Amino acid sequence: EHPRSLAKRLSKEKAEKALASLQTEADYAPSFVLAADTVVAVGRRILPKAETFDDVVNCLGLLSGRSHRVYSGICLITPAGKLRQRLVETRVRFKRLPRAEIDAYVASGEWRGKAGGYAVQGLAGAFVVKLVGSYTNVVGLPLYETVALLTGEGFKVHANWQSVRP
């Protein structure tokens, strides 16, 4: 499966599963259901969500000195049952990672459960030479696109925002 279609499929499956569980809860119906999933890929090769030391070492070795893409699928199901999806793509280039730097990152434990074996909002942000696209996509939820999707379907995203006073 292509990384793009995988991200879309996984987000849709999550949203449908959440909707099915909500349909048995009268307090939550009808509701907006939002789900997302992120996939990291080098070409067509999909990197795992790193769970073991071998996973993260392999991922970082593959990403070292190369460009990769981060895809996030977002799926929204409205209270009326309308399904809307978006796919966000970000290109990321890592510097060449010496083995000592990979070992230090692995020792941090920050990589556990992260797509591609890294968290850009943490220590791995120092690995990024170039990022083209949405930074929040690489973090895990592309905020601009998510808010646009929700507001486009009538969800009052800003209703509870309060003004900030100095």
Enzyme catalytic residues: 37
Owner of token pair 């939002």: 34
- Amino acid letter, 25: E
Residue 108 host element (H or E): helix 99-108
Residue 162, domain member (yes or no): no
Domain range for 79 is: 3-152
Residue 158 lies in a domain: no
pLDDT at 165: 60
Q: What percentage of the chain exceeds 70 in pLDDT?
A: 98
Q: What is the CATH number of the domain that holds 85?
A: 3.90.950.10
* Cα torsion angle, 10, 11, 16, 17, sign: positive
- Number of residues written out for the chain: 166
pLDDT at 95 over 70: yes
Q: Mean pLDDT over residues 36-65, rounded?
A: 96
Return the pLDDT at 160.
75
Instruction: Give the number of domains in the chain.
Output: 1
CA distance 158 to 161: 5
DSSP for residue 126: G
